[in-house]
Structure 1
C-alpha cells in the first residue's frame, strides 16, 4: 500500500533547509503532499508578512522534484487536513517534539494510524535569519 506523507510550511525565501526537509520527507513516503501557508495565516499566527507572495511560494514548492502535490494551508487544523488528504505520516521539525501541542497531536492522530515524524531543524540557515540579513541591506 502506498504511504502518503504530509508536511507544511511558509517556505518563504526558499533555502536548503526547506529542500532538506522535503527531500527527507520523500524518503519516508511514496507520495508527498506539502501544505504552503497562506499570507493571511502567516500574518495571524506569526505576525510576519511573507516576502515572497503566496502564489509564487506555491509555484516554487510545486516544482521541487520530491513533492507530488501542493495544497494551500489556510488554517492549522491538522485533523481537517487529514480528513481531506488521508495521509499516513506527518513530518514536522524536531523543535516541536515534546511540546504539549504536539504530544496532543500525536495522541489524536494515533487513532487514525498516522505516524508523526520529527526532523532536525536546520539551524545554520533559516528564513528568519535571511530576513534579518536582508533588513540590514
Structure 2
C-alpha cells in the first residue's frame, strides 16, 4: 500500500461524504484512507448541503451521521462539510492528502483540483468505488419494500 509521507512529518488526510445509511463501501474508503495517512479528518456533509448538491435529504439525520462516523476506529477527527469547495476545506483543515472515489478521476473538476493541490503540496488519491453496495442502492431497495408493503396493505 502506498503511503503519503513527508520526511519527519505527520501526514493529515481528508475525505468527505454524506455517509447516509452507513455501509461497507463507506468503511472501505475510511479504512484505506487511514492506512495512507497518520491522521484522518472526515468531512460529513450537512443535510442542507446534500439537498443543495444532490437534490435529496439524507435518510439518517446529520447529527446521527456525525456520531456514526466519529465512532469508526479509522477516523481521527470529524468536521461538518458545509461547502463542496475542497480548497476551502484545505484552508480550514490543512490536510496533506485528499481521498476521493475513482469515479471522479479524469473529470475536469478533479483535474483542476489536482493542479491546485499540487501547488500546495497536497496529493490526491483515488479509491475504487464499491460496486455492490451504495446508499443509492439501499435507498432504492427501501423504496421498493415500502411501495410493495403499501400496495399489499
With a CA cutoff of 8 Å and minimum separation of 6, indicate the structure with the bigger relative contact order: 1
Question: 1-side partners of 2:54 and 2:32: how far apart?
Answer: 25
User: Is 1:46 the counterpart of 2:54 in the alignment?
Assistant: yes
User: Is 1:64 the counterpart of 2:72 in the alignment?
Assistant: yes
User: Is 1:84 the counterpart of 2:89 in the alignment?
Assistant: no
Q: CA deviation at 1:136?
A: 1.0
Q: CA deviation at 1:128?
A: 0.1
Task: Classify the secondary structure of the residue corresponding to 1:98.
Answer: coil
Q: CA deviation at 1:79?
A: 1.0
User: Is 1:106 the counterpart of 2:114 in the alignment?
Assistant: yes
Question: 1-side partners of 2:51 and 2:93: how far apart?
Answer: 25
Q: CA deviation at 1:80?
A: 1.1
Q: CA deviation at 1:48?
A: 1.0
Task: Could you tell me which runs of 5 or more consecutive residues in structure 2 were left unpaired when the two chains were aligned.
Answer: 1-8, 146-153
Q: Structure 1: which 4+ aligned runs deviate by more than 4 Å?
A: none
Q: CA deviation at 1:133?
A: 0.2
Match of 2:136 in 1: 128
TM-score, with normalisation over the residues of structure 2? 0.89
Question: 2-side partners of 1:118 and 1:44: how far apart?
Answer: 25
Pair member with larger Rg: 2
Question: 2-side partners of 1:41 and 1:72: how far apart?
Answer: 10
Match of 1:118 in 2: 126
CA deviation vs aligned residue, 1:73-116 (integer Å, no higher than 9, x gap): 00111111111111000000000000000000001111110000
Q: 1:9 aligns with which of 14, 17, 21?
A: 17
Q: CA deviation at 1:33?
A: 0.1
* Number of residue equivalences: 137
TM-score, with normalisation over the residues of structure 1? 0.99
